[in-house]
Structure formats: C-alpha cells, structure tokens
DNA sequence: CTGATAGTTGATACTTACTATCAATAACTT
DNA sequence: AAGTTATTGATAGTAAGTATCAACTATCAG
C-alpha cells in the first residue's frame, strides 16, 4: 500500500539530478546507510567507512537529508540521530532504549497543521514531530 | 483563559520543593530567563551573567527544564533553543528568521497520540512537536 | 581521448553545546 | 555556631559538526 523508495540507483540518480557529482565516497555513504535500518549517528558511518573522510561523511549526510532520502531526528535530549527515509512525508517513533525507528504517516497531524494556519500569525514553513516509545522488545527485556 | 505561571517566587519555590538549594547563582539564572521572552541559547545567559560560571548556567537550565518552567526546543537544523514556559502542556511555533517563540495548546495532537497508542507497538513515553514559521514582522521586513 | 573547468575531498583546526572532575565554597540543619 | 552536604567554577574533555584550502577528480567541450 505504502510505496517504498530509495533503492540505491534511485538515490544516486536523485543526486545526479540535483547537479551533483557521483563520487566513490558518495556511493559508499549511500551504500552504508542503505545497509542500516534503525537509527545511527554520523560517527557510526564515519567509523564504518575508513576510506572516507569525516568531513565528507557529514557533507554527504547533509545532502541526503536535503534530498529526502535520509531523516535527521533527535532523541529527547537533542542528540541527533539519522534514519533512512522510506515513506513520502512521515513522522517517527523512536525507542529511547534501543534506538529502533519506525516511520508512520498520519493525516491527523497534517489536518492539525492546516487548522493551525488560521490560528497562527505568520506563515508555516515546516514542522517536526517525534513520538518517543519503549518498543516491545525493550519492554520485555527490562525487569521493572 | 489560559493561566500563566512562573513568576519568579513560584519558580524558586518549585526548586525548593524539589529539595534543591536556593543559591544566588540559581536566582540569577531564573531572573535572567524571566527577563527574556523569545528564544535564547545557554550561551546568551552565560554571557549575560558574568558572575555565574558556565557550568552552573548549563546545570541550572537543565534543572529548570526538568521543573517545566523552561522549554528546550530545536531549530530545524537541530540547534538547541530555550524558551520560558508559561502554559501547562503545550507545543511551540518558532520563527526561523528571528527566533520568536509562541506557545500553543491544542487537543488535536493529544488526541492523535491517544489514537497512536492503538497503532504503535510499545509504550509511548513522550513526544516532541515544533511548528516552524516566518512571523508577521519577518514576513513584512523581507523584500522577497 | 585529451585538457580544461569546476565540483569534491580530507587533514587540520575551529566552533558550539555541553559534561566530568574535584577542590573550594556556601546553604540548610540542629 | 558548627557540621554536613549540596553546589560552584576552573579546567579539561566529548559530541557533533563546520571552515579552510591545497590537492584531486568527475564531467564536459573539443
Ligand atoms: Zn524518516
Ligand atoms: Zn527498543
Ligand atoms: Zn514552552
Ligand atoms: Zn520572525
């Protein structure tokens, strides 16, 4: 029902379409994030890709976020976390124990934002929403 | 209609009730944030209060966030931003140009979260929502 | 298949936003 | 007033990047 995107060639094509060059480093970063599924940090990727400079990893992640193939989220304390994007427009649930990320789409939030247009002075240019959870496996494995 | 809180004595009392000591430094930080209204950074406060150590400013801000008298938000890129809290439970609109912060309460989001309880596997332990805007004065003063 | 051109890279240093240490200090308790 | 214990602040360190800029290379015009 909900179409999945971001098979590697598509991502590369998206970068090309944006007028960017397809370098070996960018391919490696794209491949690395496609291998992952839960949340991860930029340093995780930089550590994994010994042959790619840290600065390039950060630069590429930023490009991928701009290209909507990667989401940059934040834990409750603000620690940034990346997660590959598979759905069109969506929000996230993040397990605060293990970092598992699920994407969901819901029209309630979008309807809410449209209604806000009438209440808020100014122009809405974006929003962020994250739901923090303890996932089933984390609930199961904690004694409390 | 919507009750305002956080006149300085209340905040101090709240800290006392939490078993914390009322020090001159904490009074200064509380006074400094009550003098502000839009968003500000921890460094803004640290710079303003020459007599209070940076570490103490950060520690006190964290206490105030925990005591619900201060909100820690984030700009779209993740840059943290603090804003005094005046409403009970609420969300924020943040002007991405000037940093003006408005608080709003809306039951749509909370209803949405309750409905999510049935869809999400696991236990919801928190959420974050921010609406990014360009406020009227910023819209007015830009030539575009 | 050359160059030429301009985008890209990476080592290094710097910045922002904190947090850990720990001896000195000051706030509450009695 | 004295004692106990939380708090402070200077310093150093960490996490997450960003700025610089010379060297490199993807892409393209010829
Ligand atoms: Zn996502
Ligand atoms: Zn979990
Ligand atoms: Zn608030
Ligand atoms: Zn504004």
pLDDT of residue B3: 47
- Position B1 pLDDT exceeds 70: no
Does residue A44 belong to any structural domain of this protein? yes
Task: Render pLDDT for B41-91 as a digit per residue (tens, 0 to 9).
Answer: 999 999 999 999 999 999 999 999 999 999 999 999 999 999 999 888 899
Q: How many domains does chain B have?
A: 1
Cα–ligand 2 centroid distance for B122 (angstroms): 8
pLDDT of residue B47: 96
Does residue B3 belong to any structural domain of this protein? no
d(CA B53, C1' D10) / Å: 9
Give the burial string for A51-66 (b: 16+ CB within 10 Å, else e): ebeeebbeebbebbee
Task: Render pLDDT for A89-136 as a digit per residue (tens, 0 to 9).
Answer: 899 999 998 899 999 888 888 888 888 888 888 999 999 999 999 999
Size of interface A-B (CB pairs under 8 A): 116
Sheet bearing B101-104, strands edge to edge: A101-104, A91-95, A123-134, B123-134, B91-95, B101-104
Does residue A64 belong to any structural domain of this protein? yes
Does residue B1 belong to any structural domain of this protein? no
Give the separation between CA A98 and CA A8, rounded to whole angstroms: 26
Parent domain of B12 = 8-142
The answer to whether the CB atoms of B120 and A93 lie below 8 A apart is yes
* Chain A neighbors of B91, CB-CB under 8 A: none
Q: In chain A, which residues from 35 to 94 place their CB closer than 7 Å to nucleic acid strand C?
A: 51-56, 59-60, 77-78
Give me the residue label for tokens 């930023």: A62
Does residue B34 belong to any structural domain of this protein? yes
Does residue A2 belong to any structural domain of this protein? no
pLDDT winner (highest mean) among A25-29, A90-94, B7-11, B140-144 = A25-29
Give the separation between CA A13 and CA A5, rounded to whole angstroms: 12
Domain with residue B30: its CATH number is: 1.10.10.10
Percentage with pLDDT > 90 across chain A: 67
Mean pLDDT score, B94-104: 92
Q: Does residue A12 or residue B9 have the better pLDDT? A: A12
Does residue B99 belong to any structural domain of this protein? yes
């Amino acid at each position: 029902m909900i179409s999945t995107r971001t098979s590697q060639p598509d991502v590369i094509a998206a970068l090309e379409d944006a007028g960017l060059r397809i370098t070996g480093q960018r391919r490696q970063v794209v491949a690395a994030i496609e291998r992952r599924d839960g949340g991860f940090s930029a340093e995780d990727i930089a550590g994994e890709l010994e042959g790619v400079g840290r600065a390039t990893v950060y630069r590429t992640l930023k490009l991928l976020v701009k290209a909507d193939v990667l989401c940059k989220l934040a834990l409750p304390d603000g620690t940034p976390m990346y997660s590959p994007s598979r759905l069109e427009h969506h929000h996230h649930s993040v397990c605060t124990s293990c970092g598992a990320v699920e994407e969901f789409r819901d029209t309630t939030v979008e309807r809410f934002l449209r209604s806000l247009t009438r209440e808020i002075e100014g122009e809405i240019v974006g929003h962020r929403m994250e739901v923090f959870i303890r996932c089933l496996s984390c609930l199961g494995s904690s004694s409390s």
